[in-house]
């Protein structure tokens, strides 16, 4: 007998279109909502934004997410291992203004009995004026736009993956629409997402290529719709993650992000569990951030490879997808709220994961004490298995 809990309206919205009847409201503020479903066979957890007075936009988001839910349920037909089938969807706003809503949804799936889960970005781009989800052909008038995107992306990825699988990279950047269907808008550029296994092995993680609008318009003829969306000044309604770290970073300064020297026994850095050491690596902040803690954590969470460059230092966060939600500080006591997904590789990854985050936070003299929460659960509880 299946047991279902907390099934919200996200899964139940009717298919009828409300786009033509919904007025465009100037208020683009949103609240985060969570929906969850649990049964003996599977668990589903979804976080998504709900916009005020934007019925059509909210319906489009719901329909977009429901496609992933439907596909997951179709594939989660059996239990081949001890773990349940799992679907987790989180999000990060890329660009929100009076013209466009661009959101990067991260879709993570795990099917019982498989070696590891899979994940990838699923960007959602919605034109408020046209009241439609945008696809790549909506942006370019040049018939050869895929060839241009292919050449630019391949060159960029060859630099990022200098010792990668050349055959996989060539295949994943061929001038095919499906290779460039995952894209999002930023204030001055397009970002293209290449999923694990598309241009590199799973261990390399997701890859991104960002192309400034100035470069795109120099190489290609764009549609009037693209010009309306991208060339006028943006008016974001949601600020960057809130931070109050009582410190500023001067221009051209640096921070450290921390990785793990395995079996080092404290020779290269602070000794942690399993005989490992945690080691700081300097990162130049360019352009400089006003808040060094935000800069350091952002840099740490952006590292998607199992090992940091050619240093041999291990990154236990490589399969997790974390982002800063809020940082607050009172008299040196810090509360760091994160959201996203946590994926660890085994018992020894627990102290590694904890130490990488806490040492990155604790490097700053203004931090006297720090508590970290991921999806409203204490980091210590997640590591111990209580969360």
- Give the per-residue pLDDT at 71: 93
Q: What are the structural domain ranges in the chain?
A: 9-133, 137-230, 254-384
Lowest mean pLDDT among 260-264, 342-346, 366-370: 342-346
Tell whether the model's pLDDT for residue 361 goes beyond 70.
yes
Q: What is the mean pLDDT of residues 237-242?
A: 44
What CATH number was assigned to the domain covering residues 9-133?
A: 3.30.565.40
DSSP-based three-state secondary structure for 248:
coil
Q: Write b or e for each residue in 48-71: b if 16 or more Cβ atoms lie within 10 A of its Cβ, otherwise e.
A: bbebeebebbbbbbbebbbebbee
CATH fold of 137-230: Actin; Chain A, domain 4 (3.90.640)
Higher pLDDT, 304 or 58: 58
Beta bridge partners of 51: 30
**CA dist., res. 179 & res. 199, Å (int):** 10
Pairing relationship of beta strands 118-127 and 270-271 according to DSSP bridges: unpaired
Residue 103: which of 66, 51, 146, 45 has the closest Cα? 51
- Does pTM surpass 0.85? no
Q: Are 124 and 133 in contact (CB under 8 A)?
A: yes
Summarised one tens digit per residue, pLDDT across range 310-332 is 788 999 998 888 988 888 888 88
| The dihedral formed by the CA atoms of 239, 93, 253 and 310, expressed in degrees to the nearest 10 | 170
Strand ranges across the sheet with 333-341: 321-330, 333-341, 369-374, 377-378
- Give the per-residue pLDDT at 76: 82
Q: Hey, how many other C-beta atoms are within 10 angstroms of the C-beta on 301?
A: 19
- Give the per-residue pLDDT at 248: 39
- Give the per-residue pLDDT at 134: 94
Summarised one tens digit per residue, pLDDT across range 95-130 is 998 889 999 999 999 888 787 788 889 999 999 988
Say whether 137-230 and 9-133 share the same fold. no
Higher pLDDT, 276 or 254: 276
CA distances from residue 371 to 301, 308, 337 in whole angstroms, order as listed: 17, 26, 8
**CA dist., res. 98 & res. 230, Å (int):** 11
**CA dist., res. 318 & res. 205, Å (int):** 7
**CA dist., res. 202 & res. 196, Å (int):** 5
Higher pLDDT, 78 or 289: 78
Of the pLDDT bands very low, low, confident and very high (cuts 50, 70, 90), residue 146 is very high
Contacts of 69 (CB under 8 A, 6+ apart): 11, 44, 46, 87
């Amino acid at each position: 007998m299946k047991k279902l809990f907390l099934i919200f309206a996200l899964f139940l919205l009717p298919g009828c279109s409300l786009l033509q009847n919904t007025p465009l409201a100037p208020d683009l503020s949103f609240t985060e909502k969570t929906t969850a479903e649990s049964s003996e066979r599977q668990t589903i957890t979804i976080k998504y934004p709900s916009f005020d007075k934007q019925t059509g936009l909210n319906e489009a988001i719901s329909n977009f997410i429901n496609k992933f839910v439907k596909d997951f349920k179709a594939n989660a037909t059996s239990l081949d291992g001890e773990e349940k089938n799992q679907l987790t969807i989180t999000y990060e706003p890329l660009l929100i203004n009076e013209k466009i809503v661009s959101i990067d949804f991260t879709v993570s799936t795990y099917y019982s009995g498989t070696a590891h889960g899979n994940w990838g970005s699923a960007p959602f781009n919605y034109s408020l004026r046209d009241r439609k989800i945008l696809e790549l052909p909506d942006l370019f008038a040049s018939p050869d736009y895929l060839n241009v995107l292919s050449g630019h992306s391949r060159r960029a990825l060859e630099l990022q993956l200098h010792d990668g699988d050349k055959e996989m990279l060539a295949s994943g950047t061929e001038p095919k629409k499906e290779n460039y269907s995952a894209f999002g808008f930023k204030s001055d550029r397009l970002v293209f997402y290449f999923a694990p296994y598309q241009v590199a092995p799973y261990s390399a993680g997701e890859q991104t290529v960002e192309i400034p609008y100035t470069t795109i318009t120099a190489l290609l003829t764009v549609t009037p719709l693209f010009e309306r969306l991208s060339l006028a000044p943006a008016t974001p309604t949601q600020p960057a993650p809130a931070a109050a770290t009582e410190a500023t970073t001067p221009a051209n300064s640096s921070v450290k992000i921390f990785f793990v020297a395995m079996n080092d026994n404290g020779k290269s850095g602070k000794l942690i569990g399993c005989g490992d050491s945690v080691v700081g690596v300097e990162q130049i902040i360019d352009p400089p951030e006003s808040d060094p803690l935000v800069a350091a954590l952002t840099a740490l969470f952006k590292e998607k490879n199992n090992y940091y460059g050619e240093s041999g230092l291990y990154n236990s966060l490589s399969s997790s997808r974390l982002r800063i939600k809020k940082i607050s500080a009172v008299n040196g006591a810090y509360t760091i709220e994160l959201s996203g997904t946590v994926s660890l590789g085994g018992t020894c990854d627990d102290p590694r994961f904890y130490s990488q985050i806490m040492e990155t936070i604790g490097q700053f003299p203004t931090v006297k004490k720090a508590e970290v929460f991921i999806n409203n659960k204490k980091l210590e509880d997640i590591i111990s298995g209580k969360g």
